[in-house]
Structure 1
Amino acid sequence: MGLFFLGWFIVLAKGLLTPLLLAFFISIMLMPLYRFFRQYKLPDALAIFVSILAMAIVFGLIIWFFSAQIGNLISDFPIIQKNVTNHLNALSAWIEAHSPFSTTEQLDFIKEQSNKLLGFTGTILSGAAGSVTSLVILLGLLPIYIFLIMFYKNLLLRFVFFWFPQEQHGRVEETLREMQVIIKSYLFGLLIQVSYMTVLLGGLLLIIGIKHALLIGLIFAFLNLIPYVGALLGNIIGVLLTLASSSELWPVFAVLGTITFVQFLDNNILMPRIVGSKVKLNALATIVGVIVGGEIAGVAGMFLSLPIIAVLKVVFDRTEQFRQWGVLFGDERPERSPMEVPPLRTKDKRVKKKLEEQNKIEPPHEK
């Protein structure tokens, strides 16, 4: 019942919770910059304002770069239209040669589907208008929330400690510090990942001679932040952009091969060294978390799902009542079944430590 009402509350309050959670994570990421300005005796409010301004400039540059690449894509629209027509004609000829459907039947089918699509245009446009309105409200509230969370951080921490008896304050402090380490390492890792994925993938595609290479690299880098689902969407969009920009098929295979190579470097060499192995989440919890986050809050929920699950795991691992949920989210996979080895059924700390060593998991710690 508790889980049901909690889920119901989150769905009803997603308009409030999504910007608050985004602001909370960004505030933790801005804390090193805030402390840097405080070292130079800047007033508290001014140090927070300058930190937010620096973040706004960085995001403004990203939006400007993306807009410039979109502008280049729009300027090539006549060539794209010609290439798409050629590809569709070739596809139509192939279908006619290998199936009983003639060109006339294919055109009738396309016309029928187009009429159905136009029937949903009003709904799609109204939904898009609502999304744009929500985005404008989010962008307006986000800097205000970030400023207030950073300004009242000590008050919020005092509020947290008030919920626990004094003998548990040491464990609460340890949990809060580890949450800060997890969030900072994860978010800074994502920023670095977006940067090198854009440069590496876009640069390689540019060298090969793919049109709109930097745009493909930037889109894939941001979509890759969504676990599993984002990489698939990035591949599809990269292929579609390449098909639309080229009259040949070899660039499609070049794009897919380059994306595969860059993903291999990212997953096995670059990302593990950048983010490290502070907290490992199993693939099942990750995929379910991404889907649930998407159902609750759309794209923003998909982006937020992983850091939220990581934070919850840190909290669950340090509470007796919810430690089983920490086990469910984690990657401490026993080699043998608990049906055969009774110690694996318990919450023993020595067993947990042995499983972490077996799975090469480094517990988070404050440096």
Structure 2
Amino acid sequence: MNFKNDMPLTVRRAIEVMGIFFLGWIIVLGRDLLAPMLMAFFLSIMLLPLYRFFRKNKFPETLAIGTTLLVLVLVVGLIIWFFSFQISNLISDFPVIQANVTQHLRSLSAWVESISPVSTEEQTNFISEQSNRILGYLGNMLSGAATSITGIFVFLGLVPIYIFLLLFYKNLLLRFVFFWFPSSNHENVEDTMREMEIIIKSYLFGLLIQVSYMTVLLGGILMIIGIKHALLIGVIFAFLNLIPYVGALLGNIIGVLLTLASSSELWPILTVLGVIAAVQFLDNNILMPRIVGSKVKINALATIVGVIVGGEIAGVIGMFLSLPVIAVLKVIFDRTENFKQWGILFGDERPTESPMHEPALREESEHVDRQLERENDIEPTRAGGR
């Protein structure tokens, strides 16, 4: 092995890894600034068609941006009103919920006493001790509630400001991007940015449609069956389902807890779980693939790691943003000669044969890339190949 020839590549890979480390460090330190900016970036891409519609109809630029933001505020306001209305209904049923919870606890206590030597009095003492601990823990959490609420209001206040500025200065920002690259690469840069816009809009509009039909479908079916707080279960599951893998599990747990608290019988719980499973199967295998499409596929490993890292960096917002961020990074990596291996790591273009036995899979090949896209049912969006 010739180490002299390998040394530049080794140094380059080491610099890449160090760059990733320091980039992650910067993101963690600046997450309070970057999270609203990143959210504003994706929302501004999503709002571009509406902004262009107003500009096409001779709206002044500032008025077009302001009207676009007004539409966004109205939509978010309707979502908040819907949540508030459903939660107020839940609070009004609190006496019934309290009675049902008490009944379930008595049934559980009798069952535990029948299979173990623990008496009802011992169970009551244990529950009291644990309740005091939980209340103490909740007290500590509530002590920082003011800071959290302040952070949420700051976040919600910064996002529309960032959206306005990103739309207002979009041409300046695009010129800034082109100046980073030599003229010979400008066509490739333009194709990359157009592809990113298509993928982001496709993904975010797909999520918006998904939340709508999941709420109507799941909430409607549960309402027809006669489950209390059906729409609240539907909308909570629809939003949590946007978080890959983890969200569906949390949505099932919350749906069961709401049903358990609202009903004194067991059959509604089984019904809710069955309906959620059926709707989720329909969503994952039929509806969502047709709505979002398959222009970019992210493998399950990269998705799970991205959700965990996003949650650690920016909480729930980071978990929501993890998948579109990975998708954008994959588009950039796929079009960058020095970072294509990272695009392969994020992608789902899984070869059927091992590169240990197929030398063609070890090196860059346009023919092999297209074959892998066909095998994995991925729509090529790049003009002129890679």
TM range (shorter): over 0.9
- Amino acid of the structure 2 residue aligned with 1:50: T
- Amino acid of the structure 1 residue aligned with 2:217: L
- Amino acid of the structure 2 residue aligned with 1:100: P
* Aligned match of 1:356: 373
Measured in 2, the distance between the counterparts of 1:320 and 1:148 equals: 32
Measured in 2, the distance between the counterparts of 1:321 and 1:292 equals: 24
Measured in 2, the distance between the counterparts of 1:27 and 1:2 equals: 28
Q: Structure 1, residues 201-256: CA drift from partner, whole Å, max 9, x if none?
A: 00000000000000000000000000000000000000000010111010001100
Indicate whether 1:175 and 2:187 are aligned: no
Measured in 1, the distance between the counterparts of 2:103 and 2:136 equals: 27
- Amino acid of the structure 2 residue aligned with 1:209: G
- Residue aligned with 1:226, SS: coil
- Amino acid of the structure 2 residue aligned with 1:206: M
* Aligned match of 2:201: 184
Indicate whether 1:295 and 2:312 are aligned: yes
Structure 1 consecutive aligned stretches of length 4 or more whose deviation exceeds 6 Å: none
Measured in 1, the distance between the counterparts of 2:140 and 2:175 equals: 47
- Amino acid of the structure 2 residue aligned with 1:213: A
- Residue aligned with 1:322, SS: helix
- Relative to the length of structure 2, the TM-score reads 0.93
* Aligned match of 1:28: 45
Measured in 1, the distance between the counterparts of 2:106 and 2:382 equals: 60
Query: Which segments of 5 or more consecutive residues in structure 1 lack a partner in the other structure?
Result: none
Indicate whether 1:244 and 2:265 are aligned: no
Deviates more, 1:203-212 or 1:351-360: 351-360
Q: Structure 2 matches for 1:127-138, cutoff 5 A?
A: 127-138=144-155
Match of 2:160 among 127, 143, 149: 143
User: Cα distance, 1:121 vs. partner?
Assistant: 3.3
* Aligned match of 2:32: 15
Measured in 2, the distance between the counterparts of 1:48 and 1:149 equals: 10
Indicate whether 1:51 and 2:51 are aligned: no
Deviates more, 1:46-55 or 1:351-360: 351-360
- Amino acid of the structure 1 residue aligned with 2:347: G
Indicate whether 1:332 and 2:349 are aligned: yes
Q: Structure 2 matches for 1:1-367, cutoff 5 A?
A: 1-364=18-381
User: Cα distance, 1:129 vs. partner?
Assistant: 2.4
Query: Which segments of 5 or more consecutive residues in structure 2 lack a partner in the other structure?
Result: 1-17
Deviates more, 1:116-125 or 1:96-105: 116-125
Q: Structure 1, residues 16-44: CA drift from partner, whole Å, max 9, x if none?
A: 00000000000000000001111110000
Q: Structure 1, residues 291-350: CA drift from partner, whole Å, max 9, x if none?
A: 000000000000000000000000000111110000000000010110011111112121
User: Cα distance, 1:120 vs. partner?
Assistant: 2.4
Deviates more, 1:73-82 or 1:110-119: 110-119
- Relative to the length of structure 1, the TM-score reads 0.98
- Amino acid of the structure 2 residue aligned with 1:241: L
Measured in 2, the distance between the counterparts of 1:4 and 1:322 equals: 15
Measured in 2, the distance between the counterparts of 1:30 and 1:84 equals: 45
Measured in 2, the distance between the counterparts of 1:226 and 1:288 equals: 12
Measured in 2, the distance between the counterparts of 1:168 and 1:295 equals: 36
- Residue aligned with 1:337, SS: coil
User: Cα distance, 1:106 vs. partner?
Assistant: 1.1
User: Cα distance, 1:365 vs. partner?
Assistant: 5.1
User: Cα distance, 1:100 vs. partner?
Assistant: 1.8
Q: Structure 1, residues 139-168: CA drift from partner, whole Å, max 9, x if none?
A: 111111100000000000000001001100
CA RMSD of aligned residues (A): 1.0
% identical equivalent positions:
73
- Residue aligned with 1:360, SS: coil
- Amino acid of the structure 2 residue aligned with 1:329: F
User: Cα distance, 1:111 vs. partner?
Assistant: 1.9
- Residue aligned with 1:139, SS: helix
Measured in 1, the distance between the counterparts of 2:144 and 2:369 equals: 48
Give the count of matched residue pairs: 366
